[in-house]
Amino acid sequence: MAADDGEGNHVVHDHKHGSSHHHFLVVSYGIQSHVNPGRVLTHRLVRLGGGVTNNNGSSILATLAVPVATHRRMFPSLAGGANETTTTDGVISYVPYSNGFDDGSTPKSPEEWDRSSRATSRSLSALLTRFAAGGRPVTCVVCTLMVPGVLDVVREHGIPLAVYWIQPATVLATYYHYFHGYGELIATAAAAMDPTYEVSLPGLGLGRCRPLRVRDLPSYLVDSHTDDAETTNKFLWELYEYMDQWRPRVLVNTSYELEAAALTEMERHLDIFPIGPVVRSSAVEDLPARIHLFKHDDVDKKRYMDWLGAHRDKTVVYVSFGSITKCTKLQMEEVVRGLRRCGRPYLLVVRKDGLEEEDDDCQHTGGRKLAGAFLAIDTVHLLPPDAVRS
């Protein structure tokens, strides 16, 4: 069943594995855009039980599981030590699981992804066994997207699964239709090589203004033949197949105020609950601050915030490729060329290792390229300045 956390946010209860005591294991993929919403949800689950620590008799326990490499970035003082198996922030627990790439590298080939899936299954299965032996059996597993192996684990242990869809409901619905009879239509639209090409999918559109266009579709559906796209789409196909067969609860990081049409459409097909947007609010003091998996340089942050503050309102173009993407030198040159042509000041943010080739040209006329450390300026804090408001 679903309950409300007091803020209009639905969360999941399941009574199959016990009475009023629950232990949620939230399994996150090891990147920042998964870990942060996963962490906020894990805290919300504990708050449902009225508890502020895991030792105060709260009827709800919650643990966030992340890959070993991610856990070491989050808690560097525990890396490799005896306490690396578990830690707590006073509200939720954190545990690492091995995905077979504990050095932080990413699987590339299908064989490596298969190996990662098997390693994840073994590690998560061992975690569930350990929790049960310690008197804290997991009663529900919640997984963010792209956690290979988790479906096998919940089947093996007979534990309910809730899917935490951290992307918009429109993406959930688009992929659903892609896997349920509209794949050829989407492929045909993508093949037109026209970003304005209209795509008509049941219940979807951007308000009353217009239907979806190719440029609105998930990039892995438009360019579906790259290795990354094929791997991602394979895992998502397995997830949708599981959701079709077992009808797990699907927690969607959105609200009816934002995506009424997409949510209404998906209610016809899946057991969904909107719980978002899952972001930290300053009005909720007991939610955790954002996790940063990459080092922040306060000197750089001040320098670039001062640079932004020196510009008039709505004049700076802000570009960031996130924590995953790596660009070739040629690709970065094209991005910079386009930014120069726009004739406006710009801030281009990349990871320190975000270039596949060495690029010493980190300062460009008319703009700034931040290559010292990924997101030395926290995007959440960067966007409010008037210089970059839309």
Catalytic positions, written as ranges: 34
Output b/e per residue, 90-111; b: 16+ Cβ within 10 A: ebbbbbbbbbbbbeeeebeeee
Q: Whole-angstrom Cα distance, residue 249 to residue 161?
A: 7
CA distance 93 to 110: 32
Tell me how far the alpha carbon of residue 272 is from its chain's centroid.
18
Report the 10 Å Cβ neighbour count for 46.
Answer: 24
DSSP H helices, the chain, are 32-48, 68-74, 110-133, 150-157, 169-177, 183-191, 219-222, 227-246, 256-267, 298-309, 329-341, 379-382
Report which DSSP code applies to 210.
B
The whole-angstrom distance between residue 186's C-alpha and the CA centroid of its chain comes to 24
For residues 284 and 304, the answer to whether their CB atoms sit within 8 Å is no
Compute the distance between CA of residue 26 and CA of residue 17 in angstroms, rounded to an integer: 16
